Amino acid sequence: MSLLEAIILGIVQGLTEFLPVSSSGHLELGKAILGDTSLPQESMMFTVVVHFATALATLVVYKSEVRRIALGLWQRKNNDEFRFSVKILLSMIPAAVIGLLFADEIENLFDRQILLVGLMLWVTGLLLMIADRSKNTSKDVSFFHAAIIGVSQAIAILPGISRSGATISTSVLLGVDRSKAASFSFLMVVPLILGKIAKDLMDGGIHINEDQLGVLIAGFIAAFLTGMLACQWMIKLVRNAQLVYFSYYCFVIGTLAITYHVL
Q: What is the pLDDT of residues 139-197, one digit of tens each?
A: 888 999 999 999 998 998 888 888 888 998 899 889 888 888 888 888 888 877 777 77
Number of domains within the chain: 1
For residues 130 and 193, give the distance between their C-alpha atoms in angstroms, rounded to a whole number: 28
Report pLDDT for 223: 93
pLDDT score of 222? 94
**Host domain of residue 169:** 3-262
159 vs 1, which has greater pLDDT?
A: 159
Mean of pLDDT over the chain: 82
If you write DSSP's letter for every residue of 48-79 in order, what string do you get?
HHHHHHHHHHHHHHTHHHHHHHHHHHHH--SS
**The pLDDT of residue 17:** 81
Q: Is residue 112 left, alpha or beta, with left meaning phi > 0 and alpha meaning psi from -120 to 50?
A: left
The predicted pLDDT at position 34 comes to 77
The torsion angle over the Cα atoms of residues 134, 257, 225 and 191, rounded to 10 degrees, is: 60
CB of 43 closer than 8 Å to CB of 5: no
For residue 67, which amino acid is it?
R
Closest C-alpha among 151, 188, 187 to residue 170: 151
> What's the rounded Cα separation, in Å, for the pair 100 and 93?
11
Least confident span in 59-63, 107-111, 151-155, 247-251: 107-111
CA separation for the pair 153, 181 (Å, rounded): 13
Helix axes 40-61, 63-75, angle to 10 degrees: 90
Alpha-carbon gap, residue 191 to 197, rounded angstroms: 10
What is the pLDDT, as a whole number, of residue 224? 94
* pLDDT > 80? residue 41: no
